């Protein structure tokens, strides 16, 4: 399994904090996959991401990108930020200019690209995220979901190898959440490794190919969703809920589910019910 990011025994305590935010964090992000980072409030998800882009530097342990230990020099950080894009939870902290088109172009111009490349990348990022019709609207007139997609477009336009999304669906209504997840799917189809921190176990379960579970600054589990959620007791011990589908599946008599892959979405579950189980 080729890794895009790896944390090896990383520890970090914020100035003035009593407890460590990361305490022996060791985890791997496989290249090309969709990874969900799960963990209750304060388990270290955001701190983990800030280490991936070099905003925070480990006080112990090391972080690797593409197999190389991070270089915190100016050039090293520039290269790192081209390879790893971070989408913050609150788009207001990320969007700077007046319209989506100006904002996406601004990041590219800041990175020193020529005007032809800026135009081409801006238009293709806006198109890929379904933002062309909104491209010249003032950002403060956009809905939260549209702002989040604009922030994502700005990061995607930089053509990183991996995009980290910190709780992308927070405060979104179900329709906006679906549109955002579609946009994230588009980005993954374009060949980008995508990592999403989330509290939503159902989304993580049906969306992710790889799951990491954090608890008090350390990684307690990492693996494919069916392996992770086969450990119901540990999931509950960590204060997390089982995804509804996995929980329902688990409640079926063993004879009905034995030897079958656990359904990953409602469509698969309904198909089992209609064709095989009744």
Ligand X SMILES: Nc1ncnc2c1ncn2[C@@H]1O[C@H](COP(=O)(O)OP(=O)(O)OP(=O)(O)O)[C@@H](O)[C@H]1O
How far are the Cα atoms of 1, 63, 87, 112 from residue 38, in angstroms, in the given order? 21, 19, 17, 36
Separation in Å, CA 140 to CA 95, 99, 177, 214 = 10, 8, 19, 35
Interaction of residue 46 with ligand X, rule CB under 6 A: yes
Least distance to ligand X, CB of residue 180, Å: 17
Count the residues of the shown chain that bind ligand X, applying the rule CB under 6 A: 11
Question: One symbol per residue from 47 to 86: x for binding ligand X (CB under 6 A), - otherwise; what is it?
Answer: x---------------------------------------
Q: Give Cβ neighbours of residue 65 (< 8 Å, ≥ 6 apart).
A: 4, 5, 52, 80, 83, 84
Does 14 bind ligand X (CB under 6 A)? Our answer is yes
Minimum CB distance to ligand X, residue 58 (Å): 14
Q: How far is the C-alpha of 156 from the C-alpha of 152, rounded, in Å?
A: 6
DSSP state of 136: T
Binding letters toward ligand X, positions 24-43, x by CB under 6 A: ---------------x-xxx
**Nearest distance from residue 241's CB to ligand X, in Å?**
15
Taking CB under 6 A as the binding criterion, the range among 44-52, 55-63, 91-99, 109-117 that sits at the site for ligand X is 44-52
Binding-site member from 1, 17, 254, 274 for ligand X (CB under 6 A): 17
Least Cβ distance, residue 272 to ligand X (angstroms): 33
C-alpha distance from residue 252 to each of 97, 249, 255, 271, 273 (Å): 53, 5, 8, 15, 11
Query: Per-residue string for binding with ligand X, 149-188, x by CB under 6 A?
Result: ----------------------------------------
Alpha-carbon distance of 23 to 60, in angstroms, equals 9
Residues 180 and 129: beta-carbon distance below 8 Å: no
Q: Which residue has the tokens 């010249």?
A: 136
21 binds ligand X (CB under 6 A): yes
In whole angstroms, how close is the CB of 45 to ligand X at the nearest point?
4
**Residue numbers of the site for ligand X (CB under 6 A)?**
14, 17, 21, 39, 41-47
């Amino acid at each position: 399994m080729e890794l895009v990011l790896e944390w090896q025994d990383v520890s970090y305590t914020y100035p003035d904090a009593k407890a460590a935010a990361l305490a022996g964090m060791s985890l791997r992000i496989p290249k090309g996959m969709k990874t969900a980072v799960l963990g209750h409030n304060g388990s270290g998800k955001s701190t983990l991401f800030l280490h991936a882009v070099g905003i925070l530097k480990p006080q112990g342990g090391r972080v690797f990108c593409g197999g190389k230990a991070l270089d915190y020099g100016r050039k090293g950080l520039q290269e790192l930020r081209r390879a790893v894009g971070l989408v913050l939870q609150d788009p207001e902290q990320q969007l700077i200019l007046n319209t989506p088109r100006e904002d996406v172009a601004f990041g590219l111009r800041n990175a020193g690209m020529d005007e032809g490349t800026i135009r081409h990348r801006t238009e293709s990022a806006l198109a890929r995220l379904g933002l062309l019709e909104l491209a010249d609207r003032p950002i403060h007139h956009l809905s939260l979901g549209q702002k989040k997609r604009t922030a994502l477009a700005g990061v995607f336009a930089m053509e990183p190898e991996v995009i980290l999304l910190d709780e992308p669906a927070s405060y979104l209504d179900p329709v906006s959440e679906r549109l955002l997840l579609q946009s994230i799917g588009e980005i993954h189809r374009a060949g980008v490794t995508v990592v999403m921190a989330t509290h939503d176990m159902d989304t993580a379960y049906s969306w992710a190919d790889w799951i990491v579970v954090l608890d008090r600054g350390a990684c307690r589990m990492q693996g494919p969703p069916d392996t992770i959620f086969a450990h119901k007791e540990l999931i509950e011990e960590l204060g997390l809920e089982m995804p509804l589908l996995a929980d329902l599946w688990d409640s079926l008599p063993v004879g009905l589910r034995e030897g079958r892959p656990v359904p990953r979405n409602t469509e698969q579950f309904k198909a089992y019910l209609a064709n095989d189980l009744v």
